[in-house]
Amino acid sequence: MKKCDITFPENKTFDIIPIGRIGIDLNANKLHRPLEESDTFTKYVGGSPANIAIGMARLGRKVGFIGKVSDDQLGRFALNYFNTEHIDTSGITIDKTGATMGLAFTEIKSPTESSILMYRDNVADLKIHPKDIKESYIKKSKCILISGTALSQSPSREACLMAMEYALKHNITIIFDIDYRPYSWKCEENVSIYFSMVARAADIIIGSREEFDLCERIVDPKNEDDKVTANRWFEYKAKIVVIKHGKEGSVGYTCDGLEHIVKPFPAKLLKSFGGGDAYASSFVHFLMQGKSVADSLELGSAAAAMLVSSHSCSDAMPTEKMLLDFVRAVKEDL
């Protein structure tokens, strides 16, 4: 059995560098109505790896980012927001080809019935280019986080693979947040090809059961067993595999053979999305702090509960104090 010690080196400029999507959410201000009938919208920074960057910055981490924004007011808004949150933006390039920020109009018909309308033609975030990936920047971080959607199209796909190569070369921990968004993939077969390629190089893999199915579709299309899944990736480089099961909670596997089951945290559901990025950022933060995998997962679950009861997916990310207060308050209620 492989020793299961993810240790994060000291003396690094950054704790984490997420790679991928940074976009704009336009959230309908009035809840519980179809998007057609929503008059006014509030704009937020959005996109899974951007949300994770904000989440970890709020928790006090030193955060870099590799991405690309449009050369317009919405691109500048995103950069400004990151700067205000003390996220390093030197790894973010500005598109000069007329690409736009990806837009996500959120529609909250009821607490359990939400949807997102994506306007992502010619988006800047999928134009990150291998040339934008600086070996020196990657080397400065304890870990990088590759968001699966960034693998969906070239040249962003190759930018991620390049970052992965540099991380492997310099022994930087690789976190793979599978983050499968069907609308971004033009060819369904490619999903499994690239997901399994990154999964084999990753130290930590986080995804839903359905997302792990995609990673295994070529080698073992019939498997639905979490433990078999986790062991598959432990044969490669992975040390922690986190499999999420929606309302039924999640399970964290470690390569020493342990299994950690986490129940979902009680939440007043306002919308059915946004929890995953809070989960990932809290989990990684507390893991870096030296907490056990089990404890880190539970705190991830608590952060998710906070987010699904908030209007935004980024601006509502809690500080450590807010998160711990929330956990305490909920536990006292029980």
* Binding residues vs a second copy (CB under 8 A): 26, 29, 34-43, 72-74, 76-77, 80, 100, 103, 105, 107, 117, 119, 121-122, 129-131, 154-155, 158, 161-162, 165-166, 169, 187, 189-190, 193, 196-197, 218-219
CA distances from 266 to 57, 58, 308 (A): 25, 22, 11
Contact predicate 183/126, CB 8 Å: no
CA geometry: angle 307, 160, 289, nearest 5 deg: 45
| CB 13, min distance to a second copy, A | 22
Closer of 189 and 333 to a second copy (Cβ): 189
Closer of 200 and 227 to a second copy (Cβ): 200
Closer of 165 and 295 to a second copy (Cβ): 165
In terms of Cβ atoms closer than 10 Å to its own Cβ (0-12, 13-18, 19+), residue 105 is middle
Which among 138, 127, 123, 145 is positioned nearest to 91, based on CA atoms? Answer: 138
| CB 82, min distance to a second copy, A | 13
CA distance 225 to 209: 9
> Taking the C-alpha atoms of 43, 47, 48 and 52 in order, what is their torsion angle to the nearest 10 degrees?
-60
Per-position DSSP letters for 267-304, written without gaps between them:
---S-SSSHHHHHHHHHHHHHHTT--HHHHHHHHHHHH
Closer of 117 and 324 to a second copy (Cβ): 117
Closer of 112 and 122 to a second copy (Cβ): 122
Closer of 197 and 270 to a second copy (Cβ): 197
Contact predicate 206/244, CB 8 Å: yes
Closer of 236 and 259 to a second copy (Cβ): 236
| CB 266, min distance to a second copy, A | 31
Contacting residues for 290 by C-beta, under 8 A, at least 6 apart:
none
| CB 143, min distance to a second copy, A | 19
Closer of 86 and 236 to a second copy (Cβ): 236
| Sign of the alpha-carbon torsion through 32, 38, 41, 44 | positive
| CB 194, min distance to a second copy, A | 8
| CB 231, min distance to a second copy, A | 16
Which among 180, 186, 192 is positioned nearest to 149, based on CA atoms? Answer: 180
| CB 288, min distance to a second copy, A | 27
Helix/strand/coil for 37: helix
Contact predicate 114/36, CB 8 Å: no
CA distance 207 to 180: 9
| CB 249, min distance to a second copy, A | 32
